[in-house]
Amino acid sequence: MYSPPPTFQPVGRRGVAALARLCRVAKQASQDGAKRLAAKAAKKPASVKAAGAVKAGAVKAPAVSKSAVQAAAKGRAYPNASDPGRAANMRGNRRTDTKPEIALRSALHAMGYRYRKDFRLDLPLRRVRPDIAFTGRKVAVFVDGCFWHACPEHGSKPKSNEWYWSPKLVKNVERDRAGDEALRQAGWTVVRLWEHVPLPDAVELVVSAVGEPRRPAR
């Protein structure tokens, strides 16, 4: 059923005055509410404010590395980086496919050598992963970083979080020695190169251990 639209009667002076009072009351109530919220927020601890800002997206939460999460799960302490730049630099370090390693592989491949990269060997004593493995001739090549493997010439002791890094580097060296022994016991020849060794010298050391490249069968 059709109903006609309502008709509005003109508002008199009293109606205008009443509407003005309502607007003033609403504005005042809005201002009072904003002041109460600001006073309530000022009483919150700094940690609660920061958490609220992160939740709202105003502040980005600090990135947590996978190693830190694993250490926390095992109940172990994990160091905090001294600055964001250092943290980014440490995260950029690769376990494999480093620049010296890639350069050495490319040079050997160009000479006709064929090999396995980052190849896992399940030996009787322990598991080892050479950077370059010549499985047919049983030669394992490692390209070690100066910091991570405590190079006597270029290795540096960390000044920050020394309680964490010194034992870790010692364990890295011990693991290297144990891996070398496991390879030798299994009849492998081990070639360890520091990342600072010039490429021609590194190639010469590998060739002397591997021998001449095998020619493909015709």
32-90 pLDDT, tens digit per residue, is 766 776 676 666 555 444 455 545 555 454 555 555 565 556 566 556 655 655 555 55
DSSP string, 193-211: EETTS-HHHHHHHHHHHH-
Tell whether 83 is covered by a domain: no
Tell whether 195 is covered by a domain: yes
- State the Cα–Cα distance between residues 112 and 214, nearest whole angstrom: 8
Tell whether 34 is covered by a domain: no
> How many C-beta atoms lie closer than 10 Å to residue 131's C-beta?
25
**Which stretch of 52-66, 105-119, 202-216 has the lowest confidence by average pLDDT?**
52-66
Of 151, 131, 150, nearest in space to 141 by CA: 131
| pLDDT top residue among 184 and 59 | 184
The one-character DSSP state at 80 is P
pLDDT beyond 80 at 104: yes
**Which stretch of 39-43, 58-62, 115-119, 124-128 has the lowest confidence by average pLDDT?**
58-62
| pLDDT top residue among 158 and 183 | 183
**Which stretch of 33-37, 40-44, 119-123, 204-208 has the lowest confidence by average pLDDT?**
40-44
Joined tokens for residue 63: 């990135």
pLDDT number for residue 163: 78
Tell whether 145 is covered by a domain: yes
| pLDDT top residue among 160 and 41 | 160
Of 181, 184, 174, 183, nearest in space to 150 by CA: 174
Tell whether 164 is covered by a domain: yes
Report the number of distinct structural domains present in the chain. Answer: 1
Q: Mean of the pLDDT values across residues 92-120? A: 89
Share the mean pLDDT of the chain: 77
- State the Cα–Cα distance between residues 8 and 146, nearest whole angstrom: 87
- State the Cα–Cα distance between residues 81 and 170, nearest whole angstrom: 20
Q: Supply the range of the domain harboring residue 110.
A: 99-210
Tell whether 177 is covered by a domain: yes
pLDDT beyond 50 at 7: no
CATH number at residue 173: 3.40.960.10
Q: Kindly report the pTM of this predicted structure.
A: 0.59
Residue matched to tokens 């010194």: 166
